Structure 1
Amino acid sequence: MPTLLALDASSTACSVALWHQPAGRDADVVARFVEAPREHTRRLMPMVDEVLAEAGVALADLDALAYGHGPGSFTGLRIAAGTAQGLAYGLGKPLLGVSTLAALALAGHRRLHLRYVLPALDARMGEIYVGAYRCQDGELTSLAAEAVMPPERLTLPPGHEEADWVGVGSGWTLWPSMNANLQAGISQHLDDWQPAAEELVRLAAQRYAAGERTAPAQAQPVYLRDQVAWQKSR
């Protein structure tokens, strides 16, 4: 099993997680999560040191690094990507960028055994970042492309309207602005959840096992708003 380190700073929280397999034991995750608005730069590396020390793992033992590539806070995404990129360059290790929306969906599946999850993050400017996932046995299937949109435009994925959908993430604080048809299809919404490295590292481990690798030079935050602007300018 690989030894992976994941970093996330996509929201007001800051988190780090290590995936490793001690000798003779199942794979384990050591994680730290703290609310730290505007303190991500100061907090990330001490948290890395903490999880490595707790697990008895050295930086040189890592097989790869992962980071929350977005969507999320513009500044936070750059901090996580830059920190992971710097470590990867120094160690000569590959990188894996992981969706923060997918991490929220996995959190809902792991904590509450949710099957159909609509992760949404507050994108400011009256918009949300949103995705749609079916979750089963720790695996995620995307049912709609991740997008940024006004909350009133959000709909359930076609063909899956009758599923038991649950919304998670800060985007659901905009519930009053969402359309009535959508609200009728949501059994509950949990708007105080934030992306966390604990889920990022689990998703990264799945992808690493499938053979995915990215060179450090290719580390890129995902700014969905940039993609929309580019498409409109074509």
Structure 2
Amino acid sequence: MTQTVLLALDTSTEFCSVALVSSAGHAAGAAPGETRAEPRVWVRHEQTGAVSSTRLLPAIRELFDEAGLKLADCDAVAFGSGPGSFTGLRTATGVAQGLAFGLNLPVVPVSTLLACAESARLRDPSVTRVLAALDARMDEVYWADYAWDDAQGEWRTVQRASLDTPDRLVLPDVPFTLAGNAAAAFGARLPALAAARRVDGEALPHAVPLAHAALRALRAGRTVPADQAAPEYVRDKVAQTTAERVAEKAEKAEKAARLAHDATHGEGRQ
């Protein structure tokens, strides 16, 4: 038996959410269904708006001090990979990468939608099917469908993270819990609201359920090197627009350089 220490970060919403967990158990290769002691958890979950980046590192330091642990005690860094706020996703990814590089640790990306499903199950252990749906703005919904596998002690992805209008979500054909804030954001415009057996509007991206899911992923070896950690934006349209903006900026810079070059050489010829 070993002690596993994992740091989990999420800044995909207006909250800066950090959890530090210390769990007794094998670091990897545990048998499905193996009984474990509940991990010790230290957490900061604060509404910071657009300034999560300024609060994230201080919150991490506070948790390690509170737990009487050092960064060197950490076995992995997990982060909410998205979907969510683009700026927030980049913040969590960058901090997770920086810490993991410095400590030579693996990184555990966890979908924010999976964190919603995990939150719903932590709040009600009878939950075995979750349609996680988050307000994506622009009159759209980020959503995914998860089924709990008792034999494996893990979530199975029925429908990976997607982006659709509220009326286009594919509903599970079995009783399900609707998790996330899409029900509050769209109301009756979201057919899943009326179809759900239970609605859990408080099952939202949070570092604690993210850490629970990440511990299982770590033990199963589902990690990535720090240089391969990346946000999961889902909204390709916006990502493409960003790429187009970068290309346009480069083109303008190149054009300005040509003009400056021509003007300089023109003056020299006169």
Q: TM-score range by the shorter chain?
A: 0.7 to 0.9
Contact 1:115–1:164 (8 Å) recurs in 2: no
Distance 2:182 2:79 in 1: 21
Tell me by how many angstroms 1:185 deviates.
2.1
Instruction: Report what 1:15 is aligned to.
Output: 17
Tell me by how many angstroms 1:29 deviates.
2.0
Secondary structure at the counterpart of residue 205 of structure 2: coil
2:226 maps to 1:216: yes
Instruction: Report what 1:151 is aligned to.
Output: 166
Instruction: Report what 1:78 is aligned to.
Output: 90
Amino acid at match of 1:195: P
The C-alpha deviation readout for 1:133-176, integer Å capped at 9, x for no partner, is: 1235562122212201001111213xxx2x22121112222132
Contact 1:69–1:222 (8 Å) recurs in 2: yes
2:235 maps to 1:225: yes
Consecutive unaligned residues in structure 2, runs of 5 or more: 26-36, 241-270
Q: TM-score, normalised by structure 1?
A: 0.87
Distance 1:56 1:22 in 2: 16
Tell me by how many angstroms 1:81 deviates.
0.4
Instruction: Report what 1:200 is aligned to.
Output: 210
Amino acid at match of 1:185: A
Q: Identity, % of aligned pairs? A: 39
Tell me by how many angstroms 1:187 deviates.
2.3
Instruction: Report what 1:30 is aligned to.
Output: 42
Tell me by how many angstroms 1:72 deviates.
0.6
Provide the aligned length of Structure 1 versus Structure 2: 223
Moved more, 103-112 or 42-51: 42-51
Instruction: Report what 1:58 is aligned to.
Output: 70
2:124 maps to 1:112: yes
Secondary structure at the counterpart of residue 9 of structure 2: strand
Instruction: Report what 1:125 is aligned to.
Output: 138
Instruction: Report what 1:188 is aligned to.
Output: 198
Contact 1:117–1:132 (8 Å) recurs in 2: yes
Tell me by how many angstroms 1:31 deviates.
1.6
Amino acid at match of 2:199: H
Determine which structure has more spread, i.e. the larger CA radius of gyration: 2
Contact 2:8–2:78 (8 Å) recurs in 1: yes
The C-alpha deviation readout for 1:25-83, integer Å capped at 9, x for no partner, is: 75322222112211201111111112111211100111110100001111100000011
Runs of 4+ in 1 over 4 A off after TM superposition: 227-230
Secondary structure at the counterpart of residue 176 of structure 1: helix
Contact 2:193–2:199 (8 Å) recurs in 1: no
